[in-house]
Amino acid sequence: MRLINQSRYLYAFILILFTVSYVLLKPKPKLNYLFIKGASKGLFNHNSKQDTYNINPPNNRVSVGESFFIKDNENWYQIIQLSFWRKEHLNLNFLNRHLNISDIKVKSVSTNDYALGRFKGEEIAYSCMKNSNNFNYGISSERVVDSLDINHWKKVYLDNLNLVFYSFKPRNYECYVVLTTNINFFEDSDYTINQKIFNKFIYE
């Protein structure tokens, strides 16, 4: 009987400890150290603390890391480091809202995709790049599925069940959003993309 009474205090202590530690720590996707040679830090060359383009993550599915700005003779390249809880959560809609990007059109290049849009009067192309041949605008497609496509829904059902029971620690998916006025950037060869962006990366 004494053991039962003691265990109740322990139960309450564990619950309170969990709540407090959760509120204080708020787990988020992890970000690796990144530095880009020859780039200036910040968004669109704005280094002031009162940056109008301050990007806050909408929820704990995504973490926003460092931002770098590169300018060559013709175009500018804005690179924003993002880390998602898992690859399935990759979606750049929140960035569209933060940066007020309008007239968005999604284009596909083999298995990858990128978006074209209008930002402060300029036409830009952007996508989240893992490397030069792996980039996506958003994994979750906007396609409306037929309600009687039973196989699709069966897959959704099983995937969801799987995620409930087997998604313990997050499998972070880190990628780098590249926004650029070079609208053909994502159509370029791997070599050109590496030359312009990825060869300048220094990771830790």
Partner 1 sequence: MRIFVQEFIFNPLKFLLILVIFLNIYLLYAFDASTFDQILNLIISFGIFTSHSDSDYKDPKNLNIIQISSSFLILLSLLYRSFWLHTGDNFLYILLPVLYLTLVMLYFSFENVFKNYKPLVISLLLPMTKVLFIPLSIIFSPLSSFFTWLLLNAFGFESVLKGQEVLYNNTGINVTFSCSGSGQILFCLSAMIIFNYCFPLRSIRLLILQLVIASLLTFFANIIRLFLLALFVNTANSDGFSIFDYLHGGNGGLIFGFLSMALSCESFKRIYYSRAMPNEIN
Does residue 163 touch partner 1 according to CB under 8 A? yes
Q: Of 148 and 202, which has the nearer Cβ to partner 1? A: 148
31-35 long-range contacts, Cβ below 8 Å, gap at least 24?
Answer: 31/63, 31/65, 31/81, 31/83, 31/174, 32/83, 32/174, 32/203, 32/204, 33/203, 33/204, 34/65, 34/66, 34/81, 34/176, 34/201, 34/202, 34/203, 34/204, 35/66, 35/201, 35/202
Q: In the set 71, 170, 181, 183, which binds partner 1 (CB under 8 A)? A: 170
Q: Which is nearer to partner 1, 19 or 189 (CB)?
A: 19
- Shortest approach of partner 1 to residue 18 CB, angstroms? 5
Q: What is the longest distance spanned by two Cα atoms in the chain?
A: 79
61 is a site residue for partner 1 (CB under 8 A): yes
Q: Contacts with partner 1 in 88-127 (CB under 8 A)? A: 89
Annotate each residue in 20-39 with x if it binds partner 1 (CB under 8 A) or - if it does not, as one string: --x----x------------
Q: For the chain, how many helices (H) and strands (E)?
A: 4, 10
Q: Contact, 199 vs 191, CB < 8 A?
A: no
Smallest separation (angstroms) from partner 1 to the CB of 89: 8
Contacts with partner 1, residue ranges (CB under 8 A) = 1, 3-4, 7-8, 10-12, 14-16, 18-19, 22, 27, 59-61, 85, 89, 144, 146-148, 150, 153, 156-157, 160, 163-164, 167-170
